[in-house]
A and B are shown apart, each in its own frame.
Chain A
Amino acid sequence: MLAQDIALELKSVTKIYKGSVTVGPIDLAVRQGEFFSLLGPSGCGKSTTLRCIAGFETPTSGSILLGGERLDAKPAHRRDLGLVFQNHALFPHLTVAGNVGFGLALRKVGAGEITRRVARTLELVGLAGCGARMPSQLSGGQQQRVALARSLILEPPLLLLDEPLSSLDLKLRQQMRDELRGLQRTLGQTTVFVTHDQTEALAMSDRIAVLSNGRIEQVGTPREIYGAPATRFVANFIGESNTLAATVEGIRDEVATLRLPAGQLLRARLPAGTTRRVGEAVWAIVRPENLTIQPAENSQDDPTRLAGTLDTVSYLGEDIHVRLRVPGLDPLLASMKATRRAEVALAVPKIEIGIDACAVVVLAR
């Protein structure tokens, strides 16, 4: 990452409430034009981080830089950042145009210029001609667009989005997700997006930082976060996963053989550059879709196939979710497309489970 590419940088930012560290230290670098998400459960510190960037909280230590300049020394109103709230926070006493033109009016821009730019921005967000309405007359999605327009009209170097979609219903949320992402791409708008919704983060982001208990667990592209979780927390928070306690039995050609508590073996391909010792206690993490299920009859004595029984089968239309029992392990979750073959495999109670070595993630225990 070249230094000039970096738009926003957080250097060991911490926020301490009444003597106990609640957030941090957080180190982040957001690139120019990037859609960057802060993802985590409630109370993980993502909103506090955002509020520190926006200037509504003062970090206890650390520094925040925007385009190489110290941002944390400025008060909130001098930071010139765009900010969109979950509840939109539209000014109820002003019209849509009044809301959108609010920032320009503060900057003493001429009335004609304001009218022109408000009209252009409203068009950009798909609300052309709605300027004279009051916020209370708009639907939730429209209010969201006004809030967005109100920030974008000032062409902020950085746009902060604080769970902007979670007040909308599911259908609208999906639609706004695509629109927002499209708009962000068109404008090349550097954006920091706070959310607790992993689907949203995976679908929209260039990169995601997963936070837990005030710390960053992992930063990466959606693919990296999902396919190669760096910690157990990430593996469990993003999507579903089976976490198995195991010990390293042997390593050969970057494939580790792991022994599970009841004696079964599991192969895992280690990414280049990882070092695991024989005898090390590890977690083996497997996504449900990477378990394959076969009827038990055609089994040879392959020690890497786990023998088990079906516990519950949930038919979800497109997919089938299966809970499996394997001796010595917690129940395993498997998911598969609801095909004819899958239904045949699930028709017998005794089954064998195969796990692709490339799909097993090994983490230190």
Chain B
Amino acid sequence: MYGRHPVLRLLIVCVLAFLLAPILVVIGVSFNPTSAFRIPIGAVSMRWYARFFATPTFRDALFLVSLPVALAASALATVIGSLAAIGLVRARIAARGAFESVFMLPLLIPSILLGAAMYLVSVSLGFRTNFLTLVLGHMLLGIPYVIRVVGSALVAIDPRLEEAARSLGCTPVQAFLRVVVPNLRSSILSGATFAFIVSFSDINLALFVAGPETTTLPIQIYSQIFWEGDPTIAAASTVQIIIVGTLILLMQKIFKIRVGL
């Protein structure tokens, strides 16, 4: 009932401004014509974007590492996560609650620890961290999101739809495949998108697991900040922001999913 209270509204505007400030600043800087980290007044320039796409380290980090890793991790996370969600909701398993908590562990265990642990194992086993370790790690981070989105959609599907299908002659498995799965489609796609974004934005795990040949875009940005690079960093960041923002819009508009945790 206080949703329209003026004090609340003012507070909301301030908090949203605070949340968006660093992102808007980065976007602004990426259009600055000079190499200073300033928001351009008047003239804007696309030169840092040109530089971004012309610099092999940046370009490769995006096209040869971040995107392929995110695609692979998301595909794996979607398959494994969707199966797990179906099992969690539908199978007759003892201690469903315990399984559910365990399934959410990757959200709660700090990802730097997962990264460090994976790094120690892979080096101990004698192989340097590579594309595969990165994909495995990001897949692990993405699965809980898929389970959450697919699981809650599955819970919301009326069990009577399946009963209706069975009364019309479907076997239980047919009823699931013909009636439930088609209605889960947009949730599964959303889960996949979430998993993609989680992988695409991750830095904590990649910090440990990414090797010299597998520098993801966030890692590349991070190291350039230390090298005190030019606003190409901002252009790279903006490319990341645009991809993430577009994917979230896609989930909202096309899959009609309420984005959230």
User: Which residues of chain A have a CB within 8 Å of any CB of chain B?
Assistant: 54-56, 75-83, 85, 87, 89-93, 102-103, 106-107, 147, 150-151, 154, 160
Q: For the complex, count residues of B whose C-beta is within 8 A of A.
A: 19
User: In the bound complex, how far is the Cα of B104 from the Cα of A208, in angstroms?
Assistant: 52
Does any Cβ of A come within 8 Å of B179's Cβ? yes
Contact of B170 among A55, A56, A106, A154 (CB under 8 A): A106
Q: Are A89 and B182 in contact (CB under 8 A)?
A: no
Interface pick from B33-41, B138-146, B159-167, B207-215: B159-167
Contacts of B182 in A (CB 8 A): 93
A54→B167 contact, CB < 8 A: yes
Distance in angstroms between the alpha carbons of A87 and B164 in the assembled complex: 11
Q: Please determine whether B167 and A151 come into contact, CB atoms closer than 8 angstroms.
A: yes
CB of B174 within 8 A of CB of A106, answer yes
User: Contacts A87-B158, A89-B158, A93-B183 hold; do A80 and B169 have CB atoms under 8 A apart?
Assistant: yes
Write the chain B residue with the least CB distance to A91: B179
* Smallest beta-carbon distance B48→chain A, Å: 46
Q: When chains A and B are docked, how far (Å) is the Cα of A10 from the Cα of B158?
A: 29
Interface residues of B (CB under 8 A from A): 158, 160-161, 163-172, 174-175, 179, 182-183, 185
Q: How far is the CA of A77 from the CA of B185 in the complex (A)?
A: 25
Determine how close the nearest CB of chain A comes to the CB of B180; give it in whole angstroms. 10
CB neighbours (8 Å) of B163 from chain A are 54, 56, 76, 83, 85, 89
A76 to B171, CA, bound (A): 8
- Flag if B183 contacts A102 (CB, 8 Å): no
Closest to B171 in A: A77
Q: Which chain A residue lies CB-closest to B179? A: A91
Q: Could you list 23 examples of A-B contacts with CB < 8 Å?
A: A54-B163, A54-B167, A56-B163, A56-B166, A77-B166, A77-B168, A77-B175, A78-B169, A81-B167, A83-B164, A85-B160, A87-B160, A89-B161, A91-B161, A91-B165, A93-B179, A93-B182, A93-B183, A103-B168, A103-B169, A150-B164, A150-B168, A154-B169
Contact: A106 with B167, CB < 8 Å?
Answer: no
- Chain A residue at smallest Cβ distance from B162: A89
Docked-complex contact B167 and A83, CB < 8 angstroms? yes
Chain A residues whose CB sits within 8 angstroms of the CB of B185 once the complex forms: 93
B100 to chain A, nearest CB (A): 24
- For B161, list chain A residues within 8 Å (CB): 89, 91
CB distance from A51 to the nearest CB of B (A): 9
Known A75-B171, A77-B166, A154-B168; 6 more pairs at CB < 8 Å: A76-B163, A76-B167, A77-B175, A90-B164, A91-B179, A151-B168
**Interface residue from A89, A92, A102, A106 paired with B160 (Cβ < 8 Å):** A89
Cα–Cα distance between A154 and B167 once the two chains are bound (Å): 11
**Other-chain contact of A89, B164, B169, B171 (Cβ < 8 Å):** B164
> In the complex the two chains form, what is the Cα distance from A75 to B167 in whole Å?
10
Residue in chain A with minimal CB distance to B183:
A93
